[in-house]
Each structure stands twice: as structure tokens, then as C-alpha cells.
Structure 1
Amino acid sequence: EGKSRCCEARFVRGPVRVRFIHRDQGSRKALCSPLCLCAAPSVLLWSDYLNVHLHPKSLYVIRQYLHDGDCGCLEAFGQGESLLQDPACLEELEDRLHFYVEECDYLQGFQVLCDLHNGFSGVGAKVTELLRDEYSQKGILTWGLTPVLSTVGDPQNNFYRLMNTALGIAHLARHSSLLCPMSLSGSLGIKPEPPVTFPYIKYEASLNYHSSAILAAALDTLTAPYRLWSSQGSMMHFADSLTFSGRKVVAAWAALPFPALSSSSLPDVLSAHQQDVPWKLLSSWREQKVSCCFAQSVVLRGICQEKPTSCPGQPRSPLHSCESPEQVLQQFLHTQFPGAFSTSHVLQQPCDTRPPFPQFFSPLLTRQGFLLDKAQGVESIPVLAALQSTPVLHSLLSGLCRELQAPNVRRWSSFFTAGVEQDDFQEALEELKTLSQCYETGFGASEDEADSD
């Protein structure tokens, strides 16, 4: 799980997270399955930079598998799923879960962060199923994480990754209130695509230290609407506003940093991007432009909220006529995405990027992450981030189905010896296909359907 600082000082003690870790070969240190944010590229484990003492009940070590090596790895969905079918493991998990639930003054729900590409997709599937059975009235927000994919890989490992991802998305979407795949990889499919690029960040995609920092900054911003004390809604309300009509999967977008001049007001900043929102897709699909969406939650942080000073005779845009920062952003979203259900939040505090956050920013940024000044050492940045229910997801989900047609699956029958039945796998693919159809808009759908047939 990526380390990131909170965007506000006070948060509701709501979400509960249980970390699953597994042994590292040749080391007694534990490695966390999702995002790993380290102090330097030479540091490999999140525990190498951990400065706080974790409560013993906040960790559960999976001793049956190693993190790395040629054998003994948690590499298949069925292996992860079978772990939580062990009564001893299930009892340990429930004990830790109930310990923290009883500590909560007001339980909003749960955030589940898990890998999609390996056996942890099966672990996450069983965890979300357990949470749904015991806490059906609480929000379960799941973030499926995938590292940047190598352009060269073993064919069997690539196909295992693809099948783990498909099964993970199908099962996690079934049991979660909301599922968001997050990755800097350009594709979840067999064919690798170049990783996501940012105009003011020069990062090394192969380093978890870099990629997890970017995803953690985006996640810290995306989840602000239900973590702030000032929030009006709960995690469940947040999920319901994005997932109506069966659209349980959402896409993440982010502009890191959001390009703005330090002296510009919020209406001036947004007026400069009327033609194209400068964010990038963080949900592993090559389509980087979006012209419509069904629903979205947008957070903008770290931009000056003072009203601009008006000059006599200077034309005023509709954004300059708004009374509050929230109205400015809402008006901007209404113009960019007419007809979409949009919720927006404007936070004054930027995203903190002091160490251990990697210093991979352009020298054209100030210490506060604004443009043009050539000061070194960026300490914070403005961020624009969004979760969207968007037609892009039709292409992503249907693309996974097409790559896992029956002739291809039969080539890798060894995958099913790990505990997944072929009938269950085909059922998951049907769920993905049905889910993808929820995002059709009528434009280009016939071509996708022809390919899938």
C-alpha cells in the first residue's frame, strides 16, 4: 500500500483495512501485496522504510507462499481463493477484522487494495465476499492494482496474469460496492502498451517506488470526499452515486500535477483547459481521451480559491461569475461533460510530496508544484483527480473477454489445477461480458460485439 500524507488534518475513523503479507524469500521481512512505496530505488520492501510500529493484529502473514523466486509463489487466482477456505486462516482474519470494527466509533465501510495480476486477486475476492456477507449495509470500495507490465515476458506467465485479472475483476465487482482498476500500465491485455506518461514527471515505470507514489497520490485525492470530517455522505453513498445501472466498475483519472500558474485564480486555471481536461487515465487502457461519461466524482486540490480581480472592459466567462470554488468546478464539469451526474470537491490543501515521495518532478515547477518558476525540490503539488463511470470501460472489459476465448484458455490448462473450475471461469467471463455491456453508448458497439463473437 502506497504511503501518502492525508490531504486534511482530520478524517473520519471509518474505513478498515486488513493487510495480507507474504514471506520474502531469504528474508524475514514482510512484503505488502498492493502498492509498495520505498525511500529509494535500492529499497525493495515497504517495511524497510516503515517508521511506525504496527499493531500485531493489523498484519496477517501468509506463510504458505513466498513473495519472489522460481517456485512457491502465489501466482494463480485459485491458490489465493483457497487460502481463505482454510478454517484456521478464516478464523484469524475474522478475529483481526472484528478487533478493528469494534474500535470504530462510526464504521463507514472498507477499502480493499489488492493485486489483480497474481494470486492476491483470489485473496481479495474471498475477502470482499466475507465483508459483503457480514457487513452488507456498509460500503466496500475495492482498488485492483497492477504493476507496469514488461514488454518481454514468459507466455505462460502473461496468460496467467490475464486470467487472474479477468477472474479478479469479475469476483471483486460482484462483491464490492465499487471496483476501480488502477495501474500506470497502458494495457491489461496480452499485448503490452507503453506506460502512462505525465508532462511534468519523469519517472521510472519499472520502479515500484515511483509508480506506487503516483498511484498513492491519486488515491489519496480520489478518496477525500468520504474521508473528510466535513463530508456529507458515506462510502456507500459515494459508491451509489457512481455505480447505478449495474456499472460497478469505474475508471480513475488524474493530472499530477495539475498545470497551473501560482498567481492564477481557480476560474482562470480552469478556463485555460476548456478544450481538453489535462488528466491521464490510470485504469490501464490505451484510450486517453474521454468525451462523455455517465457519472463522476472529481476532486481538485491545491489551487488558489480567491476570486479573480476583474479589469474594466475585460470579458468575463461563466466560470468567473460563480460564487464559490465548488460552483466554479461544477460549472466547468457541466460544460465538459453535459448530461453526466457530477459531484465535485475543491480542497485548499495540496498533495504533500516531501520525502519519502520521490523527487522526479520537472525543474519547471515551483516548490508548490506550479508552473514556470525553476525552483528545485517540489514539496507539494496541485492535483485534479476523478473517478468516472465511462464508456472507456466497455472497451477494457470486452477486450479482456476477447483475449480469453476458449481456444486460448485450453492452451493453459495448468491454470485450472490451482483450484479454479473451467465452468466457473466461463461464468466469470460471461459476467465480464454482461458488465461491459452496461457501458455501451451505441457508438462503436457493433464493432466490439462482432469481435467478441
Structure 2
Amino acid sequence: MQGEAVTLQLGHYSGCVGAHWWGLQAAALRSAREPAELRAAALLRFGRGPGGPETPTPRLVALELKGGVGSLRPDGAGAEPPVSWDGAVADYRDRGSDGGCAPRDPGSCRGDAAGDRKGNPGVAGPGAAPAGSQDAPSVRLWSDYLNVHLHPKSVYVIRQYLHDGDCGCLEAFGQGESLLQDPACVEELEDRLHFYVEECDYLQVPTLSKLPLLSRNFLLKMKQNLRCCRCFPQGFQVLCDLHNGFSGVGAKVTELLHDEYSRKGILTWGLTPVLSTVGDPQNSFYRLMNTALGIAHLSRHSSLFCPLSLSGSLGIKPQPPVTFPYIKYEASLNYHSSAILAAALDTLTAPYRLCSSQGSMMHFADSLTFSGRKVVAAWAALPFPALSGSSLLDILSAHQQDVPWKLLSSWREEQKVSCCFAQSVVLRGICQEKPTSSCPGQPRSPLHSCESPEQVLQQFLHTHFPGAFSTSHVLQQPCDTRPPFPQFFSPLLTRRGFLLDKAQGFSSAGVESMPVLAALQSSPVLHSLLSGLCQELQAPNVRRWSSFFTAGVEQDDFQEALEELKTLSQCYETGFGADGSEDEADSD
């Protein structure tokens, strides 16, 4: 069995996605199935406080700016207990765009969670929940809906920059890089990382717990210094904001991980909130520069890199956000968009968390990133459209013409992608009974000759993506969608997320789980995404915003990053024909 993973959250939007992701892990523990399909210990650690019950906490290091942790204690150990207050209360209000007043939560993020003047999204009204929503209007920070305890080593608040404000924010890639060149900051980060790495190693050596304390500590310290040894964890998951200065933080963090733990998998997810269609040109260009530099550096030092966003584009001109037929979400609310990405992420990462699998994070990455294609695209169907009680054979037979998923990697595909180099696909929450059709009048297809659910899905993928290297998994466990997951579902869904024949007479606020189909693909759409970023950052445009380079990025380094993106994009440019030209491209 493979070891544990250590997760890093770099930035506020990454914290939003992470808060939902940890909520999904806690929900899976509460509704554990027997036998379990996913190992909770892959992401969570289990400890017991003085006289208290065993409490699962994420194996997490989260970097956040001053004012961005909200209700968490300064040490990140969890929310403060409620305290009654009998004194006077002052209500400070900001003027809204309509001239009215709205309450402001001091320390809240109006940029990430509600909108600001830095190219980040804005909501329809300050503090207002979307129509038809059951969500509390006070949800602004990721700590507002974090429902798990965090270890005191988890949250590291960077006090040099403010989370919210007109100045003092972490806006540029170079600022983020400079932070991780500060010896005190690096020492703080390494101390937290070593704590979790040593703990993972300790958990994987049964005889170590029987040694005397001094001998045990000596061996742990020795293993820390022997970088060549095969010590645990199996790898690192890095959730990193791409659109702001945290892209520079992520560049240095992944470089540190690559140097310290070169034999471990480093899976990096570049996260961007839904972007406002109206924004300051300079801030929009800063965001584009941060994104391009982030992709170049993060993919360089990671085993695998995947951009994740519901925004239609990462370019200068944002496109309409991704839509889902059975989810009615408010795109400007990070609470909503991050929940969708967290559900996809929980499904995409299932292959190296399976109880039955011996595959590691490194093997998982290697199966997708051969021939220099270290960037992958994410797709998901949330929920996967299926009628309750239907067999997997019937469900997939209904989608013979088109896979019903949406691209989550910020590119508006003009036509459906019918080819890819490699892919990892997970379908969860569908009945795994014998794949027999309940519609005897249907013509037989190659799917009918399959004997197991896994074979049915594999044949389905082979039909749609002939020649691609595909790995697939079918899980019975659905994605849990009970609160704090947003209740934004269509009335056409049952409580288990399956389709109804007709709409209910009330909103489906009680959807408790849903089936999900998700995939990571080494796909030709990435050529358009990467080359498009390069085209928008040609030299004449870059010179217009010379102030970006005063934050620490040299012009030569920026041009080198652009050349790196161009070279990376060319890996996805050729070899997509069905006549075997893909092999020719790989052999170059």
C-alpha cells in the first residue's frame, strides 16, 4: 500500500477549494462504506487530544495573507469557540454601488469572495446570496465553511502583505518569489513540511513505534538528512492561486519540493476564480503575466500540472463561465465555484488513494505526462447524467455520440475534442451490478460484450478516444454534497443526484450526493491554451506594463518563460490523427 500525501494550499482561492475538499473527506468518513474504496489516511492524519476523541485533521500546510484566515485562531488550530459579548457593537458599512450601505466583515476578502478593484469577481450585491440559494449571506472567507479541525502546524500567515485592501496586496509574481527568498519564511515553511514528512515516515515503519524515544528521534532525524532513501510520504499535492502573486510563491515552493524530495510525486493544481468581464486593464494584464509565469515555473518543477478554473478563459478578455445543466451556481461566488472544483478534484485524485491500488502519485503522473507533456486538462460531468436504477451499460449507451463532460481548464473549446494522448478517467456513484441492459430492444454494441463495469467504461473510452492510453476506475462511492457543500442543484435531481423524469415542485436543496465523471487528459486543447497565452504577451504589450517588472521579475527571465510555454505548447500540436501519426510525434 502506498504512503500518505502532504497537501499545500497557496493563496485564498486555493483555500476556498481546499475547505470544500476537506469537507468532502470528513463527509466520506461519516458515511463510510464497507469495504472502503478510498483510503482516508492518504489525505488525513488521525490524532487524539488530551482526554478527547480521535480527530481527523488534514495533512496540510496552508499559506495565507494577513486578514485572510477569518475565524481561525492565529495558530490555525481551528475556529474559536463562540463567546457571548455584552459590550457595545459598532456596525461599519461600506457604500454599495447603488448608493446604499452594506455591512462589511473586517478581514474578509472582497477581492476573492466578493469582488474588488484588482480584476477579481464581484457579486450582484454586497453580502447577498443568489436567488434561490440556501446559502448564508455571511460566507466570504474559506474559514467560514471549513468544517474540519486544522493542526497548529497547518496555517502560516504571511504578514508582509494584506489579504484585502487598496494597497499592500500580493499582486505580482515577483513579489511572491521574493517572499520565498526570505530565510525566515523558508525556515518556517520547511519546519512545517518536515513535521508532516517525518510523521508520514513514522507511520509507515511499524517497528519504529517500539523503539525508545531517543532512538526513535535519532532515526527520524537521520532519515530526514538522507534524501536518497525511499522515505514517505508518496508525494505532495500543491493547490496554488495562478492569478495573483501566489503564482510566484508556488514557483519557489515547487522548486523547494523538487530539490528536497526529487523522488516523490508533485501534483500541482493551478487555480483561478471566475473572472469579472469588467476590470482595470493593468490588473488584467498583471493577472495574465502571473498566469503565464506560474504555468511555466510550476510545470517545470512538478511531476504534473493542471490548470483548474470555471472561467471561460485565462486571457485578457474573460469569456463566460462554464455552465452545468443540473447545477445553478452563482459564478461570482467563490463559495460556489470552488465547491465544483473541489468535487472534481476529489474524483480526479482517486486513483492514487484507492485501497485496492498499488499505484503511486509518481506513477499516476508518469502515465499522463510522457513525451514532455507535463500539463494536463481536466474535464468533469457534475452530476453525471443518469437515471436512477439504470445499469452502467444503459447509462453509457445513452452517450455514444458525445461524452457529457465540461472542460475545467479555462479554454472555450470550439469543437468537441475527439482525441488525446493519454487520460485517467474516474466514474463514481453508479451502480456496479452486472452490466446488463434493461432495454432489450436496443441494438447490441461492443459495450454489451464486456463482463465488468471497468471493462464497460474502458470500451466506452476506446470508442471515443481510439489510440489513446487510457486508465479508468469505477467507484461505487458517490461524491457527498451535504452542507457545507452549496445547495445549488436543479429540481430535476433526486436526493442521490440522479435524474428525475419530471421536475419536482420544489428546489432540490436536499441533494445529498451525486455521481461524477471526471478525467485528466493530455489533450490538444492545451496547445491552444498555452500558445494563446504566449500570443497575448508579445513584446509590444509587455512594454506597456513595465511596472510589473519592478517587483522582481527580470525581462530576460520573462522571455525565457514565454519560450518555455511555446516549447511546451508544441508538444500538443501534432500527432492527433487517427492514422497513427501520434506515434510519429512521440518518436521525435
Deviations 1:249-293 (A, max 9, x none): 000000000001112100110011010000000000014621100
Alignment check: 8 A CA contact 2:435 2:451 kept: no
Alignment check: 8 A CA contact 2:273 2:310 kept: yes
Deviations 1:313-355 (A, max 9, x none): 7643221221111111001000110000000000001100011
The reply on whether 1:219 has 2:345 as its aligned counterpart is yes
Alignment partner of 2:245 out of 109, 119, 134 = 119
Alignment partner of 1:243 out of 362, 369, 386 = 369
Larger Rg, first or second structure (1 or 2): 2
Give the equivalent residue in structure 1 for 2:451.
Answer: 323
Deviation, structure 1 residue 68: 1.2
Deviation, structure 1 residue 49: 2.9
CA separation of 1:293 and 1:134: change in aligned 2, threshold 3 A: same
Deviation, structure 1 residue 42: 2.5
Give the equivalent residue in structure 1 for 2:106.
Answer: none
Tell me how far apart the structure 2 counterparts of residues 311 and 452 of structure 1 sit (CA, whole Å). 45
Alignment check: 8 A CA contact 1:14 1:104 kept: no
Deviation, structure 1 residue 26: 18
Tell me how far apart the structure 2 counterparts of residues 136 and 195 of structure 1 sit (CA, whole Å). 37
Tell me how far apart the structure 2 counterparts of residues 449 and 409 of structure 1 sit (CA, whole Å). 37
The reply on whether 1:419 has 2:552 as its aligned counterpart is yes
Alignment check: 8 A CA contact 1:138 1:236 kept: yes
Tell me how far apart the structure 1 counterparts of residues 48 and 571 of structure 2 sit (CA, whole Å). 34
CA separation of 1:313 and 1:406: change in aligned 2, threshold 3 A: closer
Count residues in correspondence.
429
Deviations 1:24-61 (A, max 9, x none): 9999xxxx999xxxxx3431112223343321111111
The reply on whether 1:86 has 2:182 as its aligned counterpart is yes
Deviation, structure 1 residue 373: 5.2
Alignment check: 8 A CA contact 1:101 1:107 kept: no
CA separation of 1:33 and 1:268: change in aligned 2, threshold 3 A: farther
Alignment check: 8 A CA contact 1:366 1:373 kept: no
Tell me how far apart the structure 1 counterparts of residues 352 and 583 of structure 2 sit (CA, whole Å). 36
CA separation of 1:65 and 1:96: change in aligned 2, threshold 3 A: same
Secondary structure of 1:12's aligned partner: strand
Deviations 1:360-416 (A, max 9, x none): 111001111111156871111000000000000000000000000000000000000
CA separation of 1:33 and 1:64: change in aligned 2, threshold 3 A: farther
CA separation of 1:304 and 1:293: change in aligned 2, threshold 3 A: same
Tell me how far apart the structure 2 counterparts of residues 140 and 345 of structure 1 sit (CA, whole Å). 22
CA separation of 1:145 and 1:366: change in aligned 2, threshold 3 A: same
What TM-score comes out, normalization by structure 2 length? 0.68
Alignment check: 8 A CA contact 2:524 2:576 kept: no
The reply on whether 1:450 has 2:585 as its aligned counterpart is yes
**Consecutive unaligned residues in structure 2, runs of 5 or more:** 1-44, 51-91, 104-135, 205-234, 505-509
CA separation of 1:346 and 1:208: change in aligned 2, threshold 3 A: same
CA separation of 1:26 and 1:260: change in aligned 2, threshold 3 A: closer
CA separation of 1:314 and 1:275: change in aligned 2, threshold 3 A: closer
CA separation of 1:12 and 1:77: change in aligned 2, threshold 3 A: farther
Alignment check: 8 A CA contact 2:368 2:423 kept: yes
Give the equivalent residue in structure 2 for 1:229.
Answer: 355
CA separation of 1:275 and 1:24: change in aligned 2, threshold 3 A: farther
Q: 5 Å matches for 1:300-339? A: 300-309=427-436, 315-339=443-467
CA separation of 1:193 and 1:69: change in aligned 2, threshold 3 A: same
Alignment check: 8 A CA contact 1:296 1:342 kept: yes
Alignment check: 8 A CA contact 1:24 1:66 kept: no
Alignment check: 8 A CA contact 1:25 1:68 kept: no
Tell me how far apart the structure 1 counterparts of residues 536 and 584 of structure 2 sit (CA, whole Å). 13
CA RMSD of aligned residues (A): 5.0
Alignment check: 8 A CA contact 2:351 2:357 kept: yes
Tell me how far apart the structure 2 counterparts of residues 383 and 300 of structure 1 sit (CA, whole Å). 6
Deviations 1:82-103 (A, max 9, x none): 0010001101111110000001
CA separation of 1:266 and 1:419: change in aligned 2, threshold 3 A: same
Deviation, structure 1 residue 443: 7.5
CA separation of 1:219 and 1:126: change in aligned 2, threshold 3 A: same
Tell me how far apart the structure 2 counterparts of residues 288 and 279 of structure 1 sit (CA, whole Å). 13
Tell me how far apart the structure 2 counterparts of residues 292 and 13 of structure 1 sit (CA, whole Å). 49
Identity, in percent, stands at 95
Alignment check: 8 A CA contact 1:11 1:229 kept: no
Alignment check: 8 A CA contact 2:435 2:450 kept: no
Alignment check: 8 A CA contact 2:574 2:585 kept: no
Secondary structure of 2:175's aligned partner: helix
Alignment check: 8 A CA contact 2:176 2:249 kept: yes
Tell me how far apart the structure 2 counterparts of residues 101 and 206 of structure 1 sit (CA, whole Å). 37
Alignment check: 8 A CA contact 1:252 1:385 kept: yes
Give the equivalent residue in structure 1 for 2:493.
Answer: 365
